[in-house]
């Protein structure tokens, strides 16, 4: 069997992650012969703007000609770190069709076009690895596909967005309001200038679609994920969560309630004793339940130059090893089932409701009546002393179907005694 004395790779994109990958591969270069049985070299770096200064990247490697990379027979690995859907999708498909292995960190692309790309990789007998697409530096995709392959995974929950975890941590620990915490996250470079994808839960939704597909062996795309962001969370909600012994997190929750799956991203109150409640700042964590392993949690840095480069370089090394053993494409798409998604209205959760009501007799009975008539069972109620003729009524429900809660909310909206439904937040309950 012929082995490679040198394996060449091309980087597509050398921004935050690409720059980290280049430098990390340089740092490990002396050890590569021991790790992969040969040298590993980045021989081309594709960028959009050739005139930009790139510290630490030799300018002779830079190119804006993807075709040149595609046609270079010495390049066996393409590392896509440009982001976005196009041209990343087309470049990856072309690279696979040219027999090149691909590593990517692109969650947007994998969440929307994962099936097409994985099928092409399989057809070509190539590797397509994407460990960095979920949880940055945290190993989770390969552990799910390999180390936990003996399990039936029934639940996978995660804090998979660092920006929102940072914001909620500041609101919880320092009493900041949402806008101030967001501003701080932007100043520190966690949140993008346009933070919509983070704070509206879209970034977490993409990551949960990828995780659920792998965990449940059935394709879940971004459109299948029920998503709610954190923009409406107030300091008061956080205060109430504490009073009830909970911590508020933006959680991705995927459940396999055979024969259906449900996948969502929502702000959720979880018991403060739960391991995920203590994952703070910009850290990410993924909590997995399997029938054999029971509970397992993976935690670490979900973004940033080197944590993300760690996952990308791990994938590049895995590809290089497969090349040496002539077994590329060894672990491809693992979606061998076709489970339906549960209708969103049928998903069952406990809820925290905060109602601003008039301070007069019969209100509590009225609220309880509407909930009862709509199959929403009450677990706890607290009424706070009235101020200026309005009182705050806080209800925690038992597990209820979302559609029943929605029906009750419509009736609350028509009742003059209820001035406002100020918050509706899910409360964690065991699978
Ligand atoms: P970035 O800093 O914006 O860098 C993007 C790079 O891609 C730049 O070098 C840019 O070239 C190049 N590029 C963009 N479009 C191109 C095109 N059409 N042709 C050629 N080059 C192009 O992005 P990043 O933060 O490193 O993210 C890269 C990927 O990693 C994304 O998929 C992201 O979702 C994923 N990811 C990022 C993190 C993180 O912490 N940043 C964590 C996990 C996953 P110019 O320099 O010439 O503009
Ligand atoms: N914007 C993401 C986050 C980082 O805040 O977690 C990249 O996945």
19 lines ligand 1 (CB under 6 A): no
307 pLDDT higher than 80: yes
pLDDT, one tens digit per residue, over 390-419 is 999 999 999 999 999 999 999 999 999 999
| Ligand 1 proximity of 162 Cβ (cutoff 6 Å) | no
Find out whether 7 and 77 touch, Cβ atoms under 8 Å: yes
Q: How far apart are CA 428 and CA 47, in angstroms?
A: 45
Q: Look at residue 262 and tell me whether its pLDDT is greater than 90.
A: yes
Q: How many angstroms does the Cα of residue 374 sit away from the middle of ligand 1?
A: 49
Whether 303 is in the pocket of ligand 2, judged by its Cβ within 6 Å, is yes
With a 6 Å cutoff on the Cβ, whether 16 touches ligand 1 is: yes
**Position with higher pLDDT, 389 vs 7:** 7
| Distance of alpha carbon 341 from alpha carbon 181, whole angstroms | 35
353-363 pLDDT, tens digit per residue, is 999 999 988 99
What would the two tokens of residue 358 be?
A: 């008039």
Calculate what percentage of the chain has a pLDDT beyond 70. Answer: 99
Does 110 sit in the ligand 1 pocket, CB within 6 Å? no
Does the beta carbon of 143 sit less than 6 angstroms from any atom of ligand 1? no
Question: What pLDDT does 194 receive?
Answer: 85
> Rounded CA gap, 231 and 205, in Å?
15
Name which residue leads in pLDDT, 29 or 431.
29
Task: Provide the pLDDT confidence category of residue 364 given band limits of 50, 70 and 90.
Answer: very high
Position 1 confidence tier, pLDDT thresholds 50, 70, 90: low
Cα-based angle 254, 105, 227 (whole degrees, multiple of 5): 30
| pTM of the model as a whole | 0.95
| Residue/partner pairs of 291-297 with CB below 8 Å, 24 or more apart | 291/151, 291/152, 291/154, 292/150, 292/151, 293/148, 293/151, 296/148
272: burial class by Cβ within 10 Å (0-12, 13-18, 19+)?
middle
Could you tell me the pLDDT band of residue 200, with boundaries at 50, 70 and 90? very high
pLDDT value of position 189: 77
Ligand 2 center to 251 CA (angstroms): 14
**What is the spatial distance between Cα 153 and Cα 144, in angstroms, rounded to a whole number?**
9
Regarding beta strands 226-227 and 62-63, do their DSSP bridges make them parallel or antiparallel, or are they unpaired? unpaired
Confidence label for 230 from pLDDT (cuts 50, 70 and 90): very high
Mean pLDDT confidence for 260-269: 97
Q: What is the 3-state secondary structure (H, E, C) of 275-312?
A: HHHHCCCCEEEEEEEECCCEEEEEEEECCCHHHHHHHH
Residue 427 near residue 246 (C-beta atoms within 8 A) = yes
pLDDT value, residue 325: 96
CB 240 within 8 A of CB 225: no
Q: Rounded to the nearest whole angstrom, what is the distance from the C-alpha of residue 305 to the centroid of ligand 2?
A: 12
- Measuring from atom 6 of ligand 1, which residue has the nearest CA? 13
- Ligand found nearest the CA of 22: 1
Report CA(211)–ligand 2 centroid distance (Å).
15
Angle at CA of residue 131, ends 127 and 137, nearest 5°: 150
The active-site residue out of 107, 207, 301, 402 is: 207
Residue 95: predicted pLDDT: 98
Phi and psi of 20, rounded to 5°? -65, -40
Instruction: Measure CA of the first residue to CA of the last residue in the chain; give whole Å.
Output: 50
300 lines ligand 2 (CB under 6 A): no
Is 207 an annotated catalytic residue? yes
pLDDT value at residue 257 = 87
- Mean pLDDT value of segment 98-125: 97
What is the predicted pLDDT for the residue at 193? 75
Other Cβ atoms within 10 Å of 65 Cβ, number: 11
Stretch 121-134: mean pLDDT, rounded?
98
Q: Determine if ligand 2 sits within 6 Å of the CB of residue 161.
A: yes
Confidence of residue 384 (pLDDT cuts 50, 70, 90): confident
DSSP code of residue 61? G
Give the DSSP letter of residue 355: E
Task: Summarize pLDDT for 12-63 with one digit per residue, the tens.
Answer: 999 999 999 999 999 999 999 999 999 999 999 999 999 999 999 999 999 9
- With 60 as the cut, is the pLDDT of residue 154 above it? yes
Q: How many A from CA of 118 to the centre of ligand 1?
A: 21
| Lowest mean pLDDT across 112-116, 189-193, 367-371 | 189-193
Are the C-beta atoms of residues 288 and 155 closer than 8 Å to each other?
Answer: yes
Rg for the chain, CA atoms, rounded: 24
Whether the Cβ atoms of residue 400 and residue 348 lie closer than 8 Å to each other = yes
d(CA 120, CA 93): 7
Instruction: Please tell me the number of the ligand nearest to residue 81's CA.
Output: 1
From the CA of 284, give the closest atom in ligand 2.
Answer: 6
Which tokens hold the place of 147?
């180390």
| Alpha carbon distance 303, 207 (integer Å) | 13
Q: How many CA atoms lie within 13 A of 83 on its CB side?
A: 7
Pocket test for ligand 2, best of 159, 303, 304, 305 (most atoms within 8 A of CB): 303
Specify whether the CB–CB gap between 401 and 348 falls below 8 A.
yes
Query: Which band of pLDDT confidence, cut at 50, 70 and 90, is reported for residue 380?
Result: very high
Average pLDDT, the chain: 95
Q: Distance between CA 53 and CA 349 in Å, rounded?
A: 52
Mean pLDDT of 380-388: 88
Bond prior to 87 in cis (omega within 30° of 0): yes
| Per-residue confidence (pLDDT) for residue 114, from 0 to 100 | 95
Tens of pLDDT, residue by residue over 278-295, are: 999 999 999 999 999 999
| Ligand 1 center–CA 82 separation, angstroms | 4
Query: Residue 386: its pLDDT value, please?
Result: 83
Maximum Cα–Cα distance across the chain: 85
Cβ-contact 341, 366 below 8 angstroms: no
- Residue 218's pLDDT band (boundaries 50, 70, 90)? very high
Beta carbons within 8 Å of 129's beta carbon, 6+ residues apart: 101, 102, 103, 104, 141, 142, 315, 318, 319
Which residue CA neighbors atom 2 of ligand 2 most closely? Answer: 161
User: Is 229's pLDDT higher than 60?
Assistant: yes
pLDDT computed for residue 190 by the predictor: 74
């Amino acid at each position: 069997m012929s082995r490679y004395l040198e394996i060449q790779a091309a980087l597509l994109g050398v921004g935050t992650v690409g720059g980290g990958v280049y430098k990390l591969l340089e740092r490990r270069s002396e050890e590569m012969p021991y790790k992969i049985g040969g040298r590993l070299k980045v021989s081309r770096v594709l960028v959009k703007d050739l005139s930009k200064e790139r510290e630490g990247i030799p300018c002779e490697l830079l190119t804006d000609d993807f075709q040149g990379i595609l046609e270079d027979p010495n390049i066996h690995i393409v590392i896509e770190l440009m982001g976005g859907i196009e041209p990343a999708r087309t470049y990856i498909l072309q690279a696979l069709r040219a027999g090149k292995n691909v590593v990517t960190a692109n969650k947007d692309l994998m969440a929307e076009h994962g099936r097409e790309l994985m099928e092409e990789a399989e057809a070509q007998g190539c590797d397509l690895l994407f460990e960095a697409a979920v949880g940055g530096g945290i190993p989770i995709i390969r552990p799910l596909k390999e180390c936990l392959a003996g399990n039936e995974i029934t639940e996978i929950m995660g804090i998979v967005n660092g920006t929102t975890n940072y914001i909620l941590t500041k609101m919880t620990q320092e009493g900041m309001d949402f806008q101030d915490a967001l501003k701080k996250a932007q100043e520190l470079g966690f949140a993008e200038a346009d933070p919509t994808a983070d704070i509206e839960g879209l970034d977490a939704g993409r990551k949960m679609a990828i995780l659920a597909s792998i965990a449940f062996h059935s394709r879940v795309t971004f459109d299948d994920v029920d998503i709610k962001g954190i923009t409406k969370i107030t300091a008061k909600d956080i205060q109430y969560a504490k009073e009830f012994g909970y911590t508020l997190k933006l959680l991705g929750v995927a459940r396999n309630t055979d024969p259906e799956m449900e996948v969502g991203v929502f702000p959720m109150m979880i018991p403060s004793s739960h391991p995920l409640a203590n994952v703070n700042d910009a850290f990410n964590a993924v909590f997995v339940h399997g029938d054999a392993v029971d509970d397992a949690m993976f935690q670490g840095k979900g973004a940033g130059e080197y944590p993300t480069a760690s996952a990308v370089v791990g994938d590049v090394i895995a590809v290089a090893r497969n090349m040496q053993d002539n077994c590329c494409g060894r672990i491809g798409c693992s979606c061998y089932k076709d489970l339906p998604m549960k209708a969103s209205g049928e998903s069952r959760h406990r809820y925290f409701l905060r109602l601003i009501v008039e301070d007069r007799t019969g209100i509590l009975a009225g609220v309880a009546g509407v909930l009862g008539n709509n199959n929403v069972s009450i677990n706890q109620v607290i009424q706070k002393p009235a101020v200026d003729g309005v009182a705050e009524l806080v209800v925690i429900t038992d597990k209820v179907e979302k559609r029943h809660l929605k029906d009750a909310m419509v009736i609350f909206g028509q009742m003059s005694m209820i001035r406002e439904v100020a918050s509706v937040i899910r409360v964690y309950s065991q699978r």
